[in-house]
Amino acid sequence: MAKQDPRPDAPFHVVLNAGSGHTDTELRCATIREVLEAAGRTCVLEIVHDGARLPETAARTAARAAREGAILVAAGGDGTLNAVAHEAVRHGCVFGVLPQGTFNYFGRTHGIPEDLRQAVHALLRARVRHVQIGMVNQRSFLVNASVGLYPRLLEEREHDKRQFGRSRVVALLSALKTALGRHRNLRIALELDGESRRLRTPTLFVGNNRLQMRQVGMQPLDHAVEEGRLAAIAPRPVGRWRMLGLLLRGALGRLGQAEDVVAFAFRSMTVRAPLLSGRRRVKVAVDGEICKLALPLRFEALDGRLALLVADPPQRAAGAGEAAGQDCAL
């Protein structure tokens, strides 16, 4: 694990996802180079045009950054940040963020500007802060991970974004369409910090982001991450109209007031079958990316594992910034 600030002349190795909702890749690359070169810093850009190659590119770039004492930077949405952060942890690199996605929960939580030029300038005056990551089996997550209805919601949302454009309005309408459709409920057995528990729910959502918890109205859980824990949300099986009520509560930041929601914080949790009866692998959404993982699923909070560059003093996302662009966690 990287334990201290990088040297003042450390180069920046930037993994930029050209498919994170932007078509102006050349302009973004020019902006990054311009700001860093004006500050006398070396910049190496790795541009990823095919999302399937992102993990490979992130691993190769992280290995080179570790050898050269460079700062590893991710430019893209939360899924891109996740892939590069995973390799930063594996190789012991200091990690920088240039948020370029739709919701940018991770960057906003740590006060990192969404404007690209401002974000690059922030990297130059930033210092290392060790932050928590979540793990599910061998996959890390910065914002959330989930099983059940939520992965399906994300798949449908990505389809609708390709058809209608990338915006928070499209994302919200797509979520409503999917959540109000037909879906199966999960029957799951949990081992939760040493205790057993059973749940029946359409989706199990595990959050590692204070801002997202606060936006949907789960105030009792919004400090779980700062206390070294993860936050779990599991709506009870309900009909379409009550599900619509839950979605509206989430959009209005009042989900914590709903009677049809089970919520709790934990440090480690194992999710066992039957889940979806007969299946040994299950779809899991990890920071917006869908993967298949073998059962059982083990969720764990790893406190202070990621060496993140954050501007000093940190500008925490709060107030009006938190109210903007709310996303429903269900």
Q: Does the structure show a pLDDT above 50 at 136?
A: yes
Residues 218 and 327: their CA atoms lie apart, in Å, by 13
Backbone angles phi, psi at 263, to 5 degrees: -140, 145
**Mean pLDDT score across all residues of the chain:** 85
Place of tokens 């859980």: 221
pLDDT bucket at 183, cuts 50 / 70 / 90: confident
Q: Does the structure show a pLDDT above 90 at 46?
A: yes
Q: What is the pLDDT of residue 313?
A: 53
Q: Does the structure show a pLDDT above 80 at 12?
A: yes
Contact in structure between 73 and 11 (CB atoms under 8 Å): no
Residues 17 and 318: their CA atoms lie apart, in Å, by 27
Q: What torsion do the CA atoms of 206, 87, 78, 260 make, to the nearest 10 degrees?
A: 0
Q: Does the structure show a pLDDT above 80 at 81?
A: yes
The lowest-confidence range among 43-47, 123-127, 176-180, 235-239 is: 176-180
Q: What is the pLDDT of residue 142?
A: 97
Tokens of 105: 């929960």
Residues 182 and 186: their CA atoms lie apart, in Å, by 13
Q: Quick: pLDDT tens for 88-101.
A: 999 999 999 999 98
pTM of the model: 0.84
Give the range with max mean pLDDT: 60-69, 176-185, 309-318.
60-69
Correct CATH for 139-303 of 2.60.200.40, 3.50.50.100, 3.90.1150.10, 1.25.40.10: 2.60.200.40
The lowest-confidence range among 55-69, 225-239, 264-278 is: 264-278
Q: Does the structure show a pLDDT above 70 at 252?
A: no
Using alpha carbons, select from 105, 108, 128, 129 the residue that is nearest to residue 118.
Answer: 108
Q: Does the structure show a pLDDT above 50 at 329?
A: no
Using alpha carbons, select from 115, 105, 76, 79 the residue that is nearest to residue 96.
Answer: 76
Q: Around 268, how many Cα atoms within 13 Å sit in the side-chain half-sphere?
A: 7
Q: What is the pLDDT of residue 219?
A: 73
Residues 52 and 54: their CA atoms lie apart, in Å, by 6
Q: What is the pLDDT of residue 153?
A: 78
More confident of the two residues 319 and 136: 136
Query: At the topology level of CATH, where does 12-124 sit?
Result: Rossmann fold (3.40.50)
Sheet with 144-148: list strands edge to edge: 261-266, 230-235, 203-207, 144-148, 281-286, 289-294
Domain boundaries, the chain: 12-124, 139-303
